[in-house]
Chain A
Amino acid sequence: MDGWASSLYQALKASGIGMVAYVPDEVTDPLLRLVQEDPALAVVPVTREEEGVAVLAGGYLGGVRGALVLQSSGLGNSLNALSGLCLAYQIPLLLVVSERGRLGEFNPAQVPLGRALPRILEALGIQAFWAEDGDRLGRLVERAAALAFASCLPVAVVLTPTLTGGKVLR
């Protein structure tokens, strides 16, 4: 069991998250296993990250708080839904982003979006917080979720390879 995954799962629960949408990812797999084993969570595997944003927006309209688990490349797939739905309508969600294209990256195709991610988020006005320290992760996630649902806006927590170990070429 990865300690960070357990801390993150506990923080999602403590933040009142009731729905999790995701696109599968080796790095976040330990977290997604915990989420899938929890019968109290609505768990939606989506075909594309943009669809996950929309599913969670629908969940929020129904009174359920959502978190989207995605790679940083997937954030590129979700920009119009984040903009035209979450930002325009003030629909909050927590983005749990597994960072690619940064420290230790082996895949050159992941680098352009990984490199641009901070500025993309900044351009949209989406607040993001980078998590490197497993001991402080739970508190960070709880406070990011509190910010999201108080402000009625999406907020991102970026899981760095320093925290998760990152994706390894096999």
Chain B
Amino acid sequence: MTRLAAIRALLALLDREPVLSNLGRTTYDLFSAGDRPENFYMWGAMGSVSAVGLGLALARPDLTVVVLEGDGSLLMSLGTLATIAACRPPNLVLIVCDNRSYETTGGQPTHTSASAHLASLGRGAGLPAVEEVDTLDRFTAAVRRSLREKGPWMIVAAVEPSASPARVPRRPVFLKDRFMAALGSAP
């Protein structure tokens, strides 16, 4: 499964749930799969998107918050898995698109291409619901379940690279304002 196909399948299952995407190719794929005001695109702060999703999930228990994380980015901030497990937001769905590489910077291998196993790290951090999927059918089934059953969820999806030609607006303040307006949380 390509990451783009997985994200398309995800969006098909969503209504107005917010989706936050890791910087780089994950963000480009989310934009290509379907730009919507409920998408929050990261342009910087690598390693932060899961924590941003955690904060949003805690602030807005009325919403199911979906995070599209990457393996390289998650490896940069493994402590966040422990923080999510400690806070246990039932409304957080963390999807890790594991392509075993730093695709945005040229495809250099990450440690998941060697021996690191993200699902084990999630379980070891104390996350209660961790699934590993490697086909589109199993990905769709796992997402469906995560939207229905209490989390926090971690879905590790083995994906192939997908080079979206997307041109995501490089206007962080606009993206933030649009996102907050869509969530009804604009100050």
Chain A residues within CB distance 8 Å of chain B: 18-19, 21, 42, 44-48, 50-64, 66, 80-81, 83-85, 88-91, 149
Contact = CB atoms under 8 A, between A and B. Distances in A.
Contacts of B56: 58-59, 61-62
B55 A59 contact: yes
B153 interface: no
A91 B44 CA distance: 13
Contacts of A91: 176
Nearest to A56: B55
B82 A58 contact: no
Given A80-B46, A88-B43, A57 B52 contact: yes
B53 interface: yes
Contacts of A83: 44-45
A22 B75 CA distance: 21
Interface residues of B, number: 40
Contact of B83 (A51, A85, A149): A51
B14 to A, nearest CB: 17
Interface residue SS majority, chain A: helix
Interface of B: 20, 40, 42-60, 63, 77, 79-80, 82-83, 86-87, 172-173, 175-176, 179-180, 183-187
B59 A80 contact: no
B187 A58 contact: no
B52 A62 contact: no
A118 to B, nearest CB: 23
B180 A58 contact: no
B60 A63 contact: yes
A97 to B, nearest CB: 19
Contacts of B45: 50, 54, 80-81, 83-85
B183 A51 contact: no
Given A56-B55, A61-B185, A90-B173, A46 B83 contact: yes
Contact of B48 (A60, A64, A85, A90): A85
Given A58-B53, A85-B45, A64 B187 contact: no
A33 B45 CA distance: 30
B96 to A, nearest CB: 16
Nearest to A58: B55
A61 B173 contact: no
B44 A47 contact: no
Nearest to A81: B45
Contacts of B179: 61
Contacts of B186: 63
Contacts of A90: 172-173, 176
B87 A44 contact: yes
Contact of B52 (A42, A44, A58, A63): A58
Contacts of A46: 51, 79, 83
Given A19-B59, A89-B172, 18 more contacts: A19-B58, A44-B87, A45-B86, A50-B45, A50-B47, A51-B48, A51-B77, A51-B79, A54-B55, A59-B55, A59-B59, A62-B58, A64-B59, A66-B55, A84-B48, A88-B43, A89-B173, A90-B172
